[in-house]
């Protein structure tokens, strides 16, 4: 665990430190497109944040290759090299798109080429755990087609959701944390060494997202652009493909005692291949809805619009930050719910917990105008949007004074206190502090 944490911290530190210089480079290079109708930011913001994230990926892999335990991943498997090859191609495509723009069909073709490069180097799906049937081996053609489809779908799912400050990086970070917990349990809990690459990929991805988030939170100083969104989508897909395609289910069967238990245990990995990723179910759902919506309206599925889930949250009255946190909540609920299901699929508490959290999420969706306020003693430690304004503070003083006056009319209440409260009420009325 210490080596994974070290790799995570290195990836986060390198990404964080590179983002500042990359921002200056993006401004100098003119990678600051004009505001579009579907954009939610008010001022032109530099892109190319994916350059810093790619630096974090390279640094994480470089450090891991020299650590005592993790270097075996590079000696026994070609998957880290496959990931770096595909990531390099997709990152270069994203940089070109952020600066000059690339046609949607060309981007789709390049994404398929990057996925194909990884397949040629061994990063592919070899079998699927089918519930009720067991393990089904795939032919080379089926394996290649499924792997390419998963990579392309995941890349575009993350790219589609990258519409609010900090949204894509935060959601992918949540998914990577959940996936790291699952992969680490298979690696060290069951002793399946083939899960080590996926665990490493997840740790590095967490570091990349955490290092970039401070620069990308609202109001963002830099966007990751396609060079970043496609990159983290590819890394996330690579982890799911690795743990599904390289983890031998028979090794788990020897520990669980039955093929059925193994199949249920592998369901959280199988589910990402169908949905396509439970860990990023929200971006995947957004992707499907966008394709259906645009096709229904007679538009190209790749035509940008303002109908994504995060845009709808803004349209019904949620603030920018609140919309992002709501998307974070649902992503975490689905991702960690899948991991909890893999640990104990028959637990009633897991089901009840998910139901209660879902109810809380629905309540938050139905209260777009609700603005929580921190207690007065905590206002110095929270962002300004959670503090009381001067008008709200004056109104509270007015209400408290009115209550004191009403109590002063009762026997036994100090008349001076009531007189003082009355003067506060009069002052509040004169200052126009009513909401």
pLDDT band at 372 (very low <50, low <70, confident <90, very high): low
Distance CA 323, CA 239 (A): 28
Burial class (CB in 10 A: 0-12, 13-18, 19+), 17: middle
Residue 155 in contact with residue 234, Cβ under 8 Å?
yes
Tell me 201's DSSP state. H
> pLDDT at residue 214 above 80?
yes
> pLDDT at residue 94 above 90?
yes
pTM of the shown model: 0.75
Reported as half-sphere exposure (CB side, CA atoms, 13 A), residue 53 has a value of: 38
Residue 205 pLDDT: 95
Residue 214 in contact with residue 37, Cβ under 8 Å?
no
Reported as half-sphere exposure (CB side, CA atoms, 13 A), residue 352 has a value of: 3
Residue 314 pLDDT: 66
> pLDDT at residue 252 above 60?
no
Could you tell me which of 77, 341, 330 has the C-alpha nearest to residue 201? 77
Q: What is the pLDDT of residues 6-31, one digit of tens each?
A: 999 999 999 999 999 999 999 998 88
Residue in the structure block whose two tokens are 């430690």: 381
- For residue 407, how far is the Cα from the chain centroid? 53
Tell me 280's DSSP state. G
- For residue 435, how far is the Cα from the chain centroid? 38
Q: What is the pLDDT of residues 229-238, one digit of tens each?
A: 999 999 999 9
Residue 346 pLDDT: 60
Greater pLDDT, 127 or 60: 60
Answer whether the bond into residue 276 is a cis peptide, omega within 30°. Answer: yes
Region of 132 (left: φ > 0; alpha: ψ -120 to 50; beta: rest) is: left
Distance CA 418, CA 251 (A): 79
Residue 11 in contact with residue 235, Cβ under 8 Å?
no
Can you state the angle between helices 196-216 and 2-29, rounded to 10 degrees? 40
Residue 49 in contact with residue 227, Cβ under 8 Å?
yes
Out of 195-209, 219-233, 397-411, which region has the weakest mean confidence (pLDDT)?
397-411
Go through 98-128 and write b for each residue having 16 or more CB atoms within 10 A of its CB, e for each that does not: bbeebeeeebeebbeebbbbbbebebbbbbb
**Average pLDDT of the segment spanning 76-90:** 93
Percent of the residues in the chain that have a pLDDT greater than 70, as a whole number: 63
Residue in the structure block whose two tokens are 């944490």: 5
Kindly report the length of the chain.
435
Give the annotated binding-site residues: 159, 226
Q: Would you state the torsion angle of the CA atoms of residues 337, 340, 345, 346, taken in this order, to the nearest 10 degrees?
A: -100
- Quick one: tokens of 164? 């609010």
Residue 269 in contact with residue 129, Cβ under 8 Å?
yes
Distance CA 154, CA 280 (A): 8
Give the annotated binding-site residues for Mg(2+): 159, 226
Burial class (CB in 10 A: 0-12, 13-18, 19+), 182: buried
Greater pLDDT, 168 or 32: 168
Distance CA 362, CA 51 (A): 37
Q: What is the pLDDT of residues 388-434, one digit of tens each?
A: 666 556 666 666 666 666 665 555 545 554 445 455 445 545 444 44
Residue 303 pLDDT: 61
Residue in the structure block whose two tokens are 């986060």: 12
- Residue 127, φ and ψ in degrees, nearest 5: -155, 165
- Residue 320, φ and ψ in degrees, nearest 5: -60, -50
């Amino acid at each position: 665990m210490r080596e994974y944490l070290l790799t995570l911290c290195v990836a986060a530190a390198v990404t964080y430190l590179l983002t500042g210089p990359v921002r200056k480079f993006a401004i100098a290079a003119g990678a600051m497109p004009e505001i579009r109708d579907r954009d939610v930011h008010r001022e032109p913001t530099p892109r190319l944040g994916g350059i810093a994230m790619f630096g974090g990926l390279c640094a994480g892999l470089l450090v891991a290759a020299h650590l005592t335990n993790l270097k075996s991943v590079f000696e026994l498997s070609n998957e880290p090299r496959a990931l770096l090859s595909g990531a390099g191609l997709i990152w270069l495509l994203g940089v070109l798109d952020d600066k000059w723009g690339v046609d949607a069909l060309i981007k789709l073709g390049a994404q398929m080429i990057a996925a194909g490069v990884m397949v040629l180097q061994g990063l592919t799906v070899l079998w699927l755990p089918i519930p009720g049937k067991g393990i089904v081996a795939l032919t080379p053609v089926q394996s290649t087609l499924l792997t390419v489809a998963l990579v392309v779908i995941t890349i575009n799912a993350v790219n589609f959701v990258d519409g609010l400050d900090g949204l894509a990086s935060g959601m992918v970070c949540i998914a990577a944390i959940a996936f790291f917990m699952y992969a680490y349990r298979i690696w060290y809990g069951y002793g399946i060494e083939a899960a080590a690459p996926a665990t490493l990929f997840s740790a590095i991805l967490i570091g990349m997202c955490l290092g970039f988030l401070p620069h990308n939170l609202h109001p963002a100083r830099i966007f990751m652009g396609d060079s970043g969104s496609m990159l983290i989508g590819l890394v996330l897909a690579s982890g799911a493909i690795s743990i599904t395609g390289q983890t031998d289910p028979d090794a788990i069967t020897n520990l669980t005692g039955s093929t059925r238990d193994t199949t249920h245990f592998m369901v959280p990995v199988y589910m990402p291949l169908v949905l396509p990723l439970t860990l990023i179910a929200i971006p995947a759902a957004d992707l499907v809805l966008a394709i259906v919506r645009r096709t229904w309206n007679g538009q190209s599925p790749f035509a940008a619009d303002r109908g994504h889930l995060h845009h709808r949250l803004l349209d019904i009255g949620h603030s920018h930050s609140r919309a992002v946190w709501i998307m974070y909540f649902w992503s975490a609920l689905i991702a960690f719910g899948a991991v909890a299901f893999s640990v104990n699929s028959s637990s009633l508490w897991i089901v009840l917990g998910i139901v209660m959290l879902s109810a809380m999420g629905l309540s938050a969706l139905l209260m777009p105008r609700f603005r929580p306020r921190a207690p007065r003693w905590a206002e110095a430690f929270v962002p300004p949007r959670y503090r009381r304004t001067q008008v709200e503070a004056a109104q509270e003083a007015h209400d408290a004074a009115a209550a004191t006056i009403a109590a002063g009319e009762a026997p036994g209440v100090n008349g001076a206190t009531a007189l003082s409260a009355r003067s506060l009420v009069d002052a509040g009325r004169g200052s126009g502090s009513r909401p």
